[in-house]
């Protein structure tokens, strides 16, 4: 199959006001669009962009053999678009990377991280539950607990796990590190001496 014209994006596919925009786009960034200055902000509200991404995802499935999606930096665009792309491509499974700030005070990580995990719940719900989410809340709480021998952190005030897994276990993907947090970037690494 040919992609001639399908993914030939110009300035029309970039949100207005973006530093890469040529002014021919249709929409300004949505209220949930986070800035990522290293690349153009794609206008996911644009129907032609939606159609071409959907075609590309189906091509990845049918021609290449992919059967699941990992959506990176999902705070860069509204969750509804992840839901839309999943509905259009019907993956076996999907996960989004919503890495938000946890709550800290003078003594370190606060015990109650309900706001953080509620953000994950809200994101999953906004995809119409078409995608799971990496459980950054559990990652943050778990690494704090093992680093400081504070195992009391591993349950919330209701006796449940303190991350997304405690509220929406079917939609929580637990992990201890990924390409951003650990590996070579090490922006927020799990303690090396605690990994078996």
- Helical H segments across 97-155, by residue range: 114-126, 136-148
Contacting residues for 93 by C-beta, under 8 A, at least 6 apart: 67, 68, 69, 132
Instruction: For the chain, give percent helix, strand, coil, nearest 5.
Output: 40, 10, 50
Is 144 catalytic? The answer is no
Among the listed residues 97, 119, 135, 156, the single catalytic one is 97
Is 80 catalytic? The answer is no
132-134/172-173 β-pairing: parallel
From the list 174, 162, 165, 159, the residue with the least C-alpha distance to 114 is 162
Among the listed residues 22, 67, 72, 101, the single catalytic one is 72
User: What span, in angstroms and rounded, lies between the C-alpha atoms of 34 and 72?
Assistant: 12
Which of the residues are catalytic? 72, 97
């Amino acid at each position: 199959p040919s992609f001639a014209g399908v993914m030939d994006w110009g300035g029309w596919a970039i949100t207005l006001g973006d530093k890469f925009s040529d002014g021919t786009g249709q929409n300004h960034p949505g209220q949930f669009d986070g800035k990522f200055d290293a690349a153009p902000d794609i206008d996911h509200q644009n129907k032609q962009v939606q159609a071409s991404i959907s075609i590309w995802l189906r091509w990845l499935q049918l021609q290449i053999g992919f059967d699941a999606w990992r959506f990176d930096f999902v705070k860069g665009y509204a969750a509804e678009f992840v839901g839309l792309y999943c509905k259009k491509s019907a993956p076996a499974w999907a996960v989004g990377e919503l890495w938000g700030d946890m709550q800290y005070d003078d003594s370190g990580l606060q015990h109650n991280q309900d706001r953080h995990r509620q953000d994950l719940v809200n994101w999953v719900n906004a995809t119409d539950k078409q995608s799971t989410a990496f459980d950054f809340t559990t990652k943050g709480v778990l690494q704090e607990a093992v680093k400081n021998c504070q195992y009391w952190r591993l349950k919330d005030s209701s006796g449940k796990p303190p991350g997304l897994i405690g509220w929406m276990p079917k939609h929580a993907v637990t992990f201890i590190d990924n390409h951003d947090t650990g590996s070579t970037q090490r922006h927020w690494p799990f303690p090396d001496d605690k990994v078996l």
